[in-house]
Structure 1
Amino acid sequence: MRHCLSALLVGLTVLTSDVYAQVKGNLIEIARKAFDKNPTLLRSGYMIRSAEADLQIQRSVFDLNSFSELSFRNNQYTLPGADPRTAYVENSILRNNVLGLSAGLRKRLRTGQLTEFSLNYGFANNNYPLNSFNQPINLYLGTNTSGFTFSLTQPLLRGRARPIATALERANYLYLLNAKSGNEFTTSYEIWQIGQAYWNYYTAYKNLEIYKQSEDRIRNVLAVTEELVKGDKKPAGDLTQIRSDLANQEKLTIMAGQELYAARIQLGKAIGLSTEESLEIDVPENAFPTIAESAFTSGLDKADFIRMARERRADLMAARHGHEALQQQFLLARNNTKPQLDLTGFVGYGSASTGNRLGDVMASFANNESRSIGTGARLTFTFPVNNNWAKGNLTKSYMALNDQNVVVGNIQRLIELDVSNDLNYLENSVANLQKAGEVLNYNQVVFRDEQVKFQAGLTTLLSLILFQERLMTSQLRYLQAYRQFAQAILNLRHDTGTLIVPDSKGFVIDRNAFYTIPDTSNH
């Protein structure tokens, strides 16, 4: 019964992917699938879009803006009895109508100036039969006025220089670069996690094979012992010991099946799959990298890898972009502590005409008799007495800049520590793998010899069981040594910023990133 349950669980665990497989167990395809499924990567992409929107918002400060206004006003004024105009106005009520129309363009330049161009038109009439020259005119004869005005405002203190005018735009551009570099590091981290989960999945899959092989060896010993017992060459009590050992091995196989199930779920979690999708991951296709193909050589220069990491690590680039952005904000905050003194120069043209016809309206723009041309300047001074807002912002900006200095320095420190640890771990994993391979070879030879001796009656059953367990243990340890070596390559790739490669369409995930150490010859 126990054997049936073991076979059922193992069969369900191993063959699930064979029956329902929709996710291929290819490491590169699994890693690429994460771009569509992994929630962390999706959110990181949204952060880039948000940063792009922030930059677009800041660039709107320099957009060309149009403005316009249309107004109409009707006034009725009852003249006092002593007003001489009562003789000319019906019922002593002076009525007038005023129409105003203005339109223009306004733009702030990246050099700091504010420019404005406006066009103004006005129309007014009333029921008074005399004009301003006391000449008799028709009632409600209109007066048309028009004018053009151009002004240029130059900041003299606050906001004077070009770097100040574009500081926030530059800061938001740097925050966009920060978001992109942050996304690259996040992507590398998620691919690193997927790589780890995949190697754990592959290890669990191979572990199950080892336990099943161990079961088969014990069953073979059981079959041989049964024949020896029939021939009175071995005592029947040996069968009980072997069956006990077989039951224990079946228990280990069941546990290995559970570990494989958990490893498959963990891999699906790292990719971003649901439970159902995770269970559809097929058997792993990619074996561990070998020492030969990894391009590993003893005595790797740590300084070369640290230099590469400083150039390639996206989190360090993101921190540097953030530092530059905060520098721009600090310049702006320091500038805002200054008083505001603006000099505005303007030039204007105006003309007028009398009449209610369209031609009279157009004549108001070019009537020589009423033409006026003017120039002038205006000086505006604004000085907040306490200026606590600007002083507080300056202090906060200064603190943020110093804090980011600490962040950049700490990332550089951690890079050196991580790379140094990775290289040490890589060298030890190579040595461990080589030794584990030697131990496995010895145990395979010893177990084969022990089997021959047992059949010939030259050794005991306990000795054979002991060497069988040693062989299984050495197989498991050899597999673990391979997993550690594969993870050592993965760690070094991630910590040097060479696990993924950005391109115009996103990121490139190359097989070499999982199978070879970084090439420092070009750095």
Structure 2
Amino acid sequence: MRNFILVVWLLWLGLDHYANGQATIKTNLLDIASSALAKNPTIVRSEYAVRSAESNLQIQRSAFDLNSFSELLLQTNQYVLPGADPRTALVENSLLKSNTLNMSAGVRQRLRTGQLTEVSMNYRFSNNNYPLNTYNQPISTFLGNNAGTLNLSLTQPLLRGRGRRITTALEQSYTLYVDNAKSNNEFANSYELWQIATAYWGYTAAYKNLDIYKQSENRLRNVLSVTEELIKGDKKPAGDLVQIRADLASQERLTLMAEQELYAAKIFLGKVVGFSPEESQLLDIPQNDFPSIAGSAYRPDLEKADFVRVAKERRADLRAAKQGNEALERQYQFAQNNVKPQLDLTGFISYGGVSTGNGMTDALSSFSNYQGRTVGTGAKLTFTFPVNNNLAKGNLVKSYVAMNDQNVVVNNLLRTLELDISNDLNYLNNSVAGLQKAEEVLNYNQDVYNNERIKFQSGLTTMLNLILFQDRLTSAQLKYLQAYRQFANAIINLRHDTGTLIRSDAKGFTIDQNVFYTIPDPTNN
């Protein structure tokens, strides 16, 4: 019985430990950010956009696919000969019967240099019930005639579609669109990571805010306890309790509001990561603290030009815009070429022969017989001139507008990039100065409150003064926490705007926890 109770107890402990392990989600900044790569809807959709761009490129490459073609024709004819036709005496019931089998197959491909090549083979078998051949020699009825031909042709565009640069223009443009989609995907990841880090620091601040309000509440409870003891010793009037209890009730209200803000910050963090409502509520307390000035590699002599240079090299949205612009330039070249008339020169060569007989050997010998052999060569010039050419002209204008519009996008990104960096550095410098001042104010208020509490216990100051300095201490703690949050946000703002918040390689995206704690190094970003 004792062993059974022990086993049940151990089983209960194991199940309780497992349940507690499943009851929360570890809230580590790096783990949360990594989870977003698989869960965040914006990131998932951005990856689909890359796949869509790759499929569009595959469609454009289909213009250079090797295409096969074939044809099979079976035909039977019956012709009632007129009475005056001399063949009526040679065929039964004046009914001329004929059969035809025609087979052809071949391949054609447009080369990336612009030429169109085609290789084909044609075989024709025919017979009839007429007892004479074309040379009026007597033959058996339905004796087959075999004819085989091999053809090779090469078409060279002379105006529209001439040259590799034009022929592959669309393929090249969609290759750039694939790179464009990948760059946009990288920027989308960076933006979502920036949002996640901002939400995480908000969640951390909300958690610490609640702790500050609880500390303030506990200090007021201590004041209330000390006042009650002083009243018992006739050192304080009983009326002082009313003011303290009123301040305590007000502080309890602020604590409840802080709890609501913590809950809202938790749900918002889960929302930007991509968690479900149930997963968002299971987020544990934040495990990462705010970055420190000493560990952030901050220095007051940061040069804006250095970070602008880094941003121009690393910003994925700028790279995507330039790739889109280059793709549109390729399409504009293609549209310019389509305005030209079409002039194609085709050279061809053919080889064939004929044979008589109904057997397979007779069919194959049509390609090898010397008698009846045919070899032909020639050239053909084809000219096509669209009189109005509205389609090509309209596409040219649209392509020109799109290309210049994209130029505006690139130039605007370069303009706003420098403004963003300037704003980020100013915000970083101010947040550092603000954090240092907030720490100084907090230390002063902590010392003042400690001194005032000792004086209050000795009866050397009033309760109102103690409550006043307690409120000032709470306010200083909150402002110090807010300054820390602003400093943490300043780091990720600069990281995102310089394109150094996330890295991409052939295996995907990598996130380094240092990006949340250090400013980018322009010499080694």
Q: TM-score, normalised by structure 1?
A: 0.96
2:516 maps to which of 509, 514, 517: 514
Equivalent in the alignment of 1:210 = 212
2:475 maps to which of 456, 473, 476: 473
Equivalent in the alignment of 1:326 = 328
Instruction: Answer yes or no: is 1:424 the counterpart of 2:442.
Output: no
1:132 maps to which of 131, 134, 142: 134
Deviation of the 1:135 alpha carbon: 0.3
Equivalent in the alignment of 1:35 = 37
1:450 maps to which of 446, 449, 452: 452
Equivalent in the alignment of 1:377 = 379
Equivalent residues in 2 for 1:75-114, closer than 5 Å: 75-114=77-116
Equivalent in the alignment of 1:64 = 66
Equivalent residues in 2 for 1:312-391, closer than 5 Å: 312-391=314-393
Secondary structure of the 2:319 match is helix
Letter of the aligned partner of 2:501 in structure 1? Answer: L
Instruction: Answer yes or no: is 1:255 the counterpart of 2:257.
Output: yes
Equivalent in the alignment of 1:120 = 122
Deviation of the 1:21 alpha carbon: 3.8
Letter of the aligned partner of 2:89 in structure 1? Answer: A
Deviation of the 1:35 alpha carbon: 1.2
Equivalent in the alignment of 1:9 = none
Equivalent in the alignment of 1:285 = 287
- Partners of 2:41 and 2:406 in 1: CA distance: 28
- Partners of 1:47 and 1:90 in 2: CA distance: 72
Instruction: Answer yes or no: is 1:407 the counterpart of 2:409.
Output: yes
User: Alignment identity in percent?
Assistant: 67
Deviation of the 1:20 alpha carbon: 6.0
Secondary structure of the 1:76 match is strand
- Partners of 2:165 and 2:75 in 1: CA distance: 46
Equivalent in the alignment of 2:203 = 201
Deviation of the 1:504 alpha carbon: 1.7
Letter of the aligned partner of 1:159 in structure 2? Answer: G
Output one character per residue of 1:312-340: Cα deviation in whole Å (capped at 9) or x when no partner: 00000000010010001000101000000
Instruction: Answer yes or no: is 1:149 the counterpart of 2:151.
Output: yes
Equivalent in the alignment of 1:231 = 233
Equivalent in the alignment of 1:464 = 466
Output one character per residue of 1:119-166: Cα deviation in whole Å (capped at 9) or x when no partner: 110100000000000000010000010010000000000000111100
Equivalent in the alignment of 1:169 = 171
C-alpha change, 1:19 and 1:256, in structure 2 (3 Å) is farther
Whether the 8 Å contact between 1:154 and 1:343 is mirrored in structure 2 is yes
Letter of the aligned partner of 1:306 in structure 2? Answer: V
Deviation of the 1:97 alpha carbon: 0.5
Equivalent in the alignment of 2:275 = 273
Letter of the aligned partner of 1:473 in structure 2? Answer: S
- Partners of 2:481 and 2:221 in 1: CA distance: 23
1:241 maps to which of 240, 243, 258: 243
Secondary structure of the 1:369 match is coil
Instruction: Answer yes or no: is 1:46 the counterpart of 2:48.
Output: yes
Secondary structure of the 1:151 match is strand
Of 191-200 and 88-97, deviating more is: 88-97
Deviation of the 1:423 alpha carbon: 0.4
Deviation of the 1:22 alpha carbon: 3.3
Query: What root-mean-square deviation, in Å, do the aligned CA atoms of Structure 1 and Structure 2 show?
Result: 1.0
C-alpha change, 1:43 and 1:512, in structure 2 (3 Å) is same
C-alpha change, 1:273 and 1:522, in structure 2 (3 Å) is closer
* 5+ long unaligned stretches in structure 1: 1-16
Output one character per residue of 1:469-491: Cα deviation in whole Å (capped at 9) or x when no partner: 00000000000000000000000
Secondary structure of the 2:37 match is helix
Whether the 8 Å contact between 1:268 and 1:274 is mirrored in structure 2 is yes
Aligned length: 507
Deviation of the 1:23 alpha carbon: 1.8
Q: TM-score, normalised by structure 2?
A: 0.96
Of 123-132 and 268-277, deviating more is: 268-277
Whether the 8 Å contact between 1:18 and 1:282 is mirrored in structure 2 is no
- Partners of 1:20 and 1:222 in 2: CA distance: 41
Equivalent in the alignment of 1:439 = 441
C-alpha change, 1:19 and 1:90, in structure 2 (3 Å) is closer
- Partners of 1:92 and 1:22 in 2: CA distance: 97
- Partners of 2:210 and 2:94 in 1: CA distance: 110
Equivalent in the alignment of 2:11 = none
Secondary structure of the 2:371 match is helix
Output one character per residue of 1:371-421: Cα deviation in whole Å (capped at 9) or x when no partner: 110100111111110000000000000000000000000000010000010
- Partners of 1:272 and 1:96 in 2: CA distance: 75
Of 256-265 and 356-365, deviating more is: 356-365
Whether the 8 Å contact between 1:171 and 1:325 is mirrored in structure 2 is yes
4+ runs deviating over 4 angstroms? 17-20
- Partners of 2:513 and 2:41 in 1: CA distance: 24
Equivalent residues in 2 for 1:8-19, closer than 5 Å: none
Equivalent in the alignment of 1:505 = 507
- Partners of 2:161 and 2:472 in 1: CA distance: 78
- Partners of 2:234 and 2:463 in 1: CA distance: 15
